[in-house]
Structure 1
């Protein structure tokens, strides 16, 4: 009882201090578009972009200590300013609400927004305001930024508590709407749900818009839940946590949902199968809806690959057997099976998870490896099982480039290396090249718009010092002086960019520099002033 009372008191204190502090704080969506002193002492004169401590949505002493320590590690003033702004960005700005479940005062909840995702009126045209929505993929990756400083800790004011809160809330969301990619605030928060569009989306299975913000079926969203679960368990060893609350039931929901989506368009006798998910939106953008009455292009039955109607960019897939998401799902299903086994009493379920992951790996090898006329055997981005192949890569994670980053394979894998060479070449139709920045982009923001997130993943997957230094130079020099990682940048004009407040991309860059400190520390002693 004393524990419960202390936790409730801590939650109340947090909410009181947060609400009182926020009353006099600037709106970060506007704050992050403006320049603020003190500026960095380097040639790029980068703005300071952190809110005042009282205005930050979560304060972590271990994160502040890491920033202070990295000032002695990173020698270039502009690179350090970019780290100083970006690494804490999710904690500074995106912890919208924290508390406990209404029906269980020990169940921590963390509602984490992604940044400047806008509400839209109709057809993705008129901006109507910042949305309070939590994306499964983004929130998992935002927390991954702090994995290197995560430790086992039962305290409510710890990073471990934030992790547990995200995992618990994601489990709830998955049980309510496993085909959905983003969700409304929990009822406990007191925050009002928001409509994404005036014109409603038409999709099956239906779910209330009071629960879901958007219901694009993206396999990587469920993989992200497995990823954050794996990250927390492998770092803290806290198996007991996963035996509480809704985690096991969420895994059961995930298995049922994904196995149902192994179905092809036609049965063996030629009849049309019932597809467990459809989506239609009235829009002028082709990647916002699916053809064939919301079912997408035909998919061959019996491949062993899970369909994904949308990519992690929230763009629709051309062919629904999306290889990067299947890779990520298989990898984290394997590691989550170890959590299930460690809980005790769920050996059958753990074995089912292992077996399913192995079957997906075999299917990826059979259907996902194709022969390119120049690069030989490489991984396709998407296939349909009928022989059609989409040969490209997209900037968002999971991507083909990021396969070693999320642990599907080793970076030295020969098929991966051939794939990497292809996706970083001009033969990848979405490799954007220019004097400002050269990086993979995608149809989400269109031709010529390179994504620094892809540059960061290029660094993660390289041990070539010259390549890494070149990517860091491009990132540092292309923020338009704002000192934050944008979503995309015109490869010929650094002042033409999208999204000034993209917490996932910011945190990923901070995570990358901490990785370099361990893996290639000499890189962080370089100058980027020339």
Structure 2
């Protein structure tokens, strides 16, 4: 049965098309259980805008959806896949065009949701799942990758310490309003920058997306044409500055390259010590005063973020090697920093858990301070094999995984509906389906994967989209219905399973109901 709200919305959409009115805003559209509902027990809504209302249409993605329709046995699982995998393309490609000063430089502005701003980390992760269908540089979809990489490069050159940005002037979109009061070093232009939380994983995200595009297409020439080399230099310079210790050899305090202080009601919305953060020792790693969640860190050396940066500095050095206009020695600098960060992780980031086993800490400070936890946001410790930093059978990773996926982790959320890592970004009882997805993507155990998928399916509250977080005891209590990053990651998980464990897609994921006498 269609709900009265769904019928009203369907009629409004029909009238809107007839009258040539604008498409409905997805922020409200995605909160409705839009028909037709899936025929399984979960009766999941159909959450794709009509083709003319989608922000980008890709035949490669549509072919992937239709190609798996007969391979996925469970109708609810397929509905969740068809809603989520194209979600970024359907809803978040706010603008595509070219640079004002170079008609060959493609640009793409990707929003995370209902704010017209582009996060470096999010946009990289939003586009990344489409690497699985991208085959060559001539496809229309490849232009989105190039457009995002080019725009990210521009932003990272202008304000490398900032994390989210306003629409480019070429788009004609007015800058979004951000009324926060901040004191930030270095200063930034609010007409260009939306928020300036320095998160090291932004650098990793930019390099990862570059690697994804190159690996899928083999198109190395693209990286030498515009501002990619300069952006990598900016990343290296900022990373080097953020490797500095708090105290010099003479014991004198050294003001950090980045400071952030804001007027906020949240302790995680600003940095301690009047914006300079907590002291750190030299470790070879780079500081990340803010986490991938946008929350301030407890200790500044984020192990997952440094894992990601090390991995993709090394990987993209192979691209730099091929560029005739790259400065001599730049690829070597990338590899050297990658190695030094990896050595820092091995020395400072591997610690003894209460169980007595060696595990990766989530954060350290180089003085002995260590934070034993994991956060659902990626990069996470759980995601280390997904990032390509290590093998999923690595002994320290296996120990860490056991620690993360249980009560020893203070942000492990457990209940009758979903059991997954949460985040201080929300609250202790809010499990993140993103972490359940990552659990499946980093596992070879069929039952573990099946269990994770079942929990994700029953977490959508019938809306058929991946939420940011869900109450483990009440699936109607969730945050963010429109979270394109998590949606795309679920689609990527299904595409991954179709490749490495296709038999699992033949399973039924329907709930079992027991009739009472």
TM-score category of the 2 structures, normalised to the smaller one: over 0.9
> How far apart are the structure 2 equivalents of 1:247 and 1:173?
11
Q: CA deviation at 1:24?
A: 2.2
The yes-or-no answer on 1:457 pairing with 2:438 is: yes
Match of 2:380 among 390, 399, 403: 399
What residue in structure 2 maps to residue 234 of structure 1? 215
Which whole-Å deviations, capped at 9, do the CAs of 1:50-99 have from their partners, x for residues lacking one? 00000000001111111111110110010000001000000000000000
Which whole-Å deviations, capped at 9, do the CAs of 1:339-363 have from their partners, x for residues lacking one? 0001135351111111111111011
What residue in structure 2 maps to residue 337 of structure 1? 317
The yes-or-no answer on 1:303 pairing with 2:287 is: no
> How far apart are the structure 2 equivalents of 1:152 and 1:107?
18
Match of 1:204 among 178, 181, 185: 185
What residue in structure 1 maps to residue 270 of structure 2? 289
Q: Secondary structure at the match of 2:406?
A: coil
What residue in structure 2 maps to residue 146 of structure 1? 130
Q: Is the 8 A contact 1:184 1:193 kept in 2?
A: yes
Which is worse superposed, 34-43 or 347-356? 347-356
What residue in structure 1 maps to residue 118 of structure 2? 134
What residue in structure 2 maps to residue 70 of structure 1? 68
Q: How many residues align?
A: 494
Match of 1:49 among 37, 47, 50: 47
Q: CA deviation at 1:21?
A: 11
> How far apart are the structure 2 equivalents of 1:174 and 1:22?
39
Q: Is the 8 A contact 2:31 2:481 kept in 1?
A: yes
Which consecutive segments of 4 or more residues in structure 1 shift more than 2 A?
Answer: 20-24, 344-347
Q: Secondary structure at the match of 1:97?
A: strand
Q: Is the 8 A contact 1:324 1:403 kept in 2?
A: yes
> How far apart are the structure 2 equivalents of 1:314 and 1:22?
40
Q: Is the 8 A contact 2:137 2:219 kept in 1?
A: no
1:95-106 superposed matches below 5 A: 95-106=93-104
Q: Secondary structure at the match of 2:425?
A: coil
> How far apart are the structure 1 equivalents of 2:122 and 2:402?
27
Q: CA deviation at 1:373?
A: 2.5
Q: CA deviation at 1:22?
A: 9.2
The yes-or-no answer on 1:317 pairing with 2:315 is: no
Match of 1:249 among 230, 251, 261: 230
Q: CA deviation at 1:269?
A: 2.0
> How far apart are the structure 2 equivalents of 1:84 and 1:497?
21
Q: CA deviation at 1:153?
A: 2.8
> How far apart are the structure 2 equivalents of 1:437 and 1:477?
8
Q: Is the 8 A contact 2:277 2:289 kept in 1?
A: yes
Which whole-Å deviations, capped at 9, do the CAs of 1:399-453 have from their partners, x for residues lacking one? 0000000100010100000000100010000000001111000110111000000
Q: CA deviation at 1:298?
A: 1.1
> How far apart are the structure 1 equivalents of 2:46 and 2:99?
36
What residue in structure 1 maps to residue 308 of structure 2? 328
Q: Is the 8 A contact 2:433 2:459 kept in 1?
A: no
Q: CA deviation at 1:274?
A: 1.6
> How far apart are the structure 2 equivalents of 1:141 and 1:21?
37
Give me the CA root mean square deviation. 1.4
Q: Secondary structure at the match of 1:142?
A: helix
Match of 1:31 among 29, 32, 53: 29
TM-score in terms of structure 1 length: 0.92
What residue in structure 2 maps to residue 410 of structure 1? 391
TM-score in terms of structure 2 length: 0.94
1:425-444 superposed matches below 5 A: 425-444=406-425
The yes-or-no answer on 1:85 pairing with 2:93 is: no
Unaligned runs of 5+ in 1: 1-19, 116-129
Unaligned runs of 5+ in 2: 1-17, 513-517
